[in-house]
Amino acid sequence: MNNNQPDRHELFLIPEGMSKVSMTKDSKIPNAATFTILKEDHTLANLLRAQLLKNPKVLFAGYKIPHPLEHTFVLKIQTTFETNPLEVLLIEMQTIIRDIMDLNKKFQNQLTLHGLEGGEFGGSRMDF
Amino acid sequence: MNLGDAKGPQVTIRSIDHERKQLSFILWNCDLAVANALRRIMMAEVPTMAIDLVDIEQNSSVLVDEMLSHRLGLIPLTSTNIRDITYTRDCNCAEYCQNCSVVLTLNVRCDSDTNRDVTARDLISTNPNVTPYFSSEEDAGVVICKLRKGQEVRMRCIAKKGTSKEHAKWSPVAAVAFEYDPHNKLRHTTYWVETDALKEWPVGPNGAEEVAPGPDDPFDYKAKPEKFYFVVEGTGVMDPRDIVEKALMLVHAKVVFVVQDLQKLKW
Ligand SMILES: [Zn+2]
């Protein structure tokens, strides 16, 4: 194909030798860092940003997608001196994991309550 | 931290309509970002099967090969057992194989004097779990093209696993209705108005769920959305319950994947 259409793999595949997440400490602002996360979009970026902002130790959290054709976002975090951006990001991501697991359990309970259980994780759901 | 937050996000199922493939539920005590992540993942990242490659042996129909291939790609294929199929990009094969694809053949020739509709019913699948979706026995299937006497289509279609962020044909949902704050208390919406928004705009479908503010109520600038009304309408390839379930697992997997890499870093 001789056009400038981006390759299909560019949406998903992390290039050889690169890691999903990288961190650059800010050289001027104390307790601040920029995280670059590859092959993710607003779905994850906004989720992390919103969760971080709930933490009182977080002074700043914001994200941007530097280029619309590159599936990457950068997340900037500044915290108080009690902690650091990496630690706080890990803690808040664990919170998200817990919340989502919890939500899934509640969803399953609701299905049972409505007599709608027996899905993919329970049996075959081929009823339509 | 208040007690409301401690319980975490909650979900309440309102109804399920099998015939219309709709699941209606409320997500509450929940962040806008979480609700939106769930919505985005249901639409763009829950994998399904769709025709991705077409080997055309014969096409004497009036539609050009590209047009026909495009139409084939958009046909919903049942994806209930999508977990058994791998992505071609994760597969060891060069182009496609049994583990990462399903072959469907289309072989129709019109020999009668009347025009012949080629529909999704004419697609013969090699895998009983991945076939075109029909809403009922009477459903005639999606029309792919029409043939006149003597015209013929003969092709091999290779269906692959994919997600809708690559191409919308892989989306498991027809629509995800998403509403919050039906009375616009948060003023996230600005209504276009002649004189009075209350008279000119209908109340949203979930208006009865929340108390409408009085005309003299002060604006609560600290309020946040916390109740989200969802209606997930599937295309038929997957049960809407599975779509929600899978979307939740995908949000989880996404975050876990990043955490694993993040743990290797040191401050
Ligand atoms: Zn393969």
Residues in CB range of A36: below 8 A, 6 or more apart? A21, A22, A23, A24, A72, A73, A74, A75
Torsions phi, psi for B4 (to 5 deg): -60, -40
| Residues B27 and B99 occupy one common structural domain | no
Centre of ligand 1 to C-alpha B98, Å, is 6
Model pLDDT, residue A115: 80
* Alpha carbon distance B213, B193 (integer Å): 19
Residue A118 has pLDDT above 80, yes or no: no
Convert chain A into a string of H (helix), E (strand) and C (coil). CCCCCCCHHHHCCCCCCCCCEEEEECCCCCCEEEEEEECCCHHHHHHHHHHHHCCCCEEEEEEECCCCCCCEEEEEEEECCCCCHHHHHHHHHHHHHHHHHHHHHHHHHHHHHCCCCCCCCCCCCCCC
In a domain, B3, yes or no: no
Q: What is the CATH number of the domain that holds B53?
A: 2.170.120.12
Domain interval for residue B77? 49-163
Which of B16, B34, B265 comes nearest A23 by C-beta? B265
Compute CA distances B144 → B63, B72, B106, B115, whole Å.
Answer: 10, 7, 10, 13
In a domain, B1, yes or no: no
Q: Could you tell me if residue B260 is inside a domain?
A: yes
In A, minimum Cα distance to B241 occurs at A119
Q: What is the SS3 assignment for B261?
A: helix
Distance B93 CA to ligand 1 centre (A): 4
User: Same domain for B233 and B182?
Assistant: yes
| pTM for the structure as a whole | 0.91
Q: Same domain, yes or no, for B134 and B232? A: no
Task: Give me the pLDDT at residue B3, please.
Answer: 43
Per-residue pLDDT of B16-38, as tens digits, reads 988 889 999 999 999 999 999 99
Q: Please indicate whether, in this complex, the C-beta atoms of A120 and B248 are within 8 angstroms of each other.
A: no
Written as tens digits, the pLDDT of chain B (267 aa) is: 344 445 789 999 999 988 889 999 999 999 999 999 999 999 999 999 999 999 999 999 999 999 999 999 999 999 999 999 999 999 999 999 999 999 999 999 999 999 999 999 999 999 999 999 999 999 999 999 999 999 999 999 999 999 999 999 999 999 999 999 999 999 999 999 999 988 999 988 899 999 999 889 999 999 999 999 999 999 999 999 999 999 999 999 999 999 999 999 998
Is the residue at B72 inside a domain?
A: yes
The C-alpha of A64 sits at a distance from chain B's nearest C-alpha, in angstroms, of 15
| Cβ contact, residue pair B80, A120, below 8 Å | yes
Distance CA B215, CA B203 (A): 15
- The pLDDT score that the predictor gives to residue A125 is 38
Same-domain status, B91 and B196: no
Asked, for residue B62, whether it belongs to a domain, the answer is yes
* CA B50 to ligand 1 centroid distance, Å: 15
Ligand 1 centre distance from Cα of residue B243 (Å)? 25
The rounded Å distance from CA B90 to ligand 1 centre is 8
Task: Give pLDDT, residue B11.
Answer: 95
pLDDT at B10: 94
Q: Is A43 on the interface with B (CB under 8 A)?
A: yes
Distance CA B98, CA B217 (A): 63
- B114 shares a domain with B37: no
**What stretch of H or E contains B16?**
strand B10-17
Q: Out of B9, B236, B258, name the one closest to residue A21 (CB).
A: B258
End-to-end CA distance of chain B: 28
| SS3 label, residue B263 | coil
| B17 and B54 co-located in one domain | no
Q: What is the CATH number of the domain that holds B18?
A: 3.30.1360.10
- Asked whether residue B155 falls in the same domain as residue B55, the answer is yes
Which value does ipTM take for this structure? 0.90
Residues B33 and B57 in one domain: no
H or E element, residue B229: strand B227-234
Ligand 1 ion: nearby residues, β-carbon < 5 Å: B 91, 93, 97, 99-100
| CB burial readout B97-130, b (16+ within 10 A) else e | eeebbbbbebebebeeeeebebbbebbebebebb
B1: amino acid identity, one letter? M
Q: Do B262 and A90 touch (CB under 8 A)?
A: yes
* Domains parsed from chain A with CATH numbers: 8-114 (3.30.1360.10)
Find out whether B46 and B243 touch, Cβ atoms under 8 Å. yes
Per-residue pLDDT at A1: 54
Determine whether the interchain pair B18/A119 forms a contact, defined as Cβ–Cβ distance below 8 Å.
no
Q: Is B251 inside any structural domain?
A: yes
Domain count, chain B: 2
